Amino acid sequence: MKFCSQCGSPVEQRIPEGDNRQRFVCPQCTTIHYQNPRVIAGCLPVWGEQVLLCRRAIEPRRGYWTLPAGFMENGETLAEAAARETDEEACARVRDLALYTLFDLPHISQLYVFFRAELVDLDFAAGEESLEVKLFHEHEIPWNELAFPTAGRTLQCYFADRREQLYPIRNEGLAALRPRG
């Protein structure tokens, strides 16, 4: 940030009175420009024994597989954002969304949230940001071709939880996302 979005003057970085963090502040109109983490919401769409993955048509990680997910927009609920992203990326409709995984990614100031969801029908297709959309059985998951550890960890939890038929909601950090030895 270089200029004030309210008045167009150059901003400066300083700690405002009563605060304890550096902020972008406008010396002209005194607006404080706060910057906050962004939320990414997505679905783990399930069809019987299979789950739906999308192969990314865009960077980062073009060509790799992932779960449909994207930035939550103003005016949405978490579940609405997750369902919209599933529609946009996989042209798929989902129901019975159940909160499942929340990953803290403080190094990039993101909060990643996945819902388990039931696919409504098999009428899905690659959206504009996907090369391909496909159902996978557990043994078919392309573990080495997944785009993001958040999707991989969600799938890993899901298949483990499915054996127990218990799906605890998880709030995990980076440690859970690091590949094990």
Collapse the DSSP code of 14 into the 3-class scheme (helix H, G, I; strand E, B; otherwise coil) and give the result.
Answer: strand
CB of 141 to a copy of itself, least distance (A): 26
Among 13, 14, 30, 38, binds a copy of itself (CB under 8 A): 38
Cα dihedral 159, 164, 167, 168, rounded to 10, equals: -120
The residues near 106 (Cβ < 8 Å, ≥ 6 apart) are 37, 173, 174
Among 13, 28, 30, 35, binds a copy of itself (CB under 8 A): 35
Binding track, positions 60-89, relative to a copy of itself; x by CB under 8 A = -----------xxxxxxxxxx---------
* 28 touches a copy of itself (CB under 8 A): no
Q: Take residue 34 and report the two structure tokens written for it.
A: 């706060």
CB of 101 to a copy of itself, least distance (A): 11
Total residues at interface with a copy of itself (CB under 8 A): 41
Stretch binding a copy of itself (CB under 8 A), from 7-15, 45-53, 119-127, 153-161: 7-15
3-state SS track over 43-111: EEEEECCEEEEEEECCCCCCCCEECCEEECCCCCCHHHHHHHHHHHHHCCCEEEEEEEEEEEEHHHCEE
* 16 touches a copy of itself (CB under 8 A): no
Cβ count near 40 (within 10 Å): 21
* 36 touches a copy of itself (CB under 8 A): yes
CA 178 to chain centre: 17
The footprint of a copy of itself (CB under 8 A) covers: 1-11, 18, 21, 33-39, 71-80, 99, 102, 104, 106-107, 109, 111, 128, 169, 171, 173
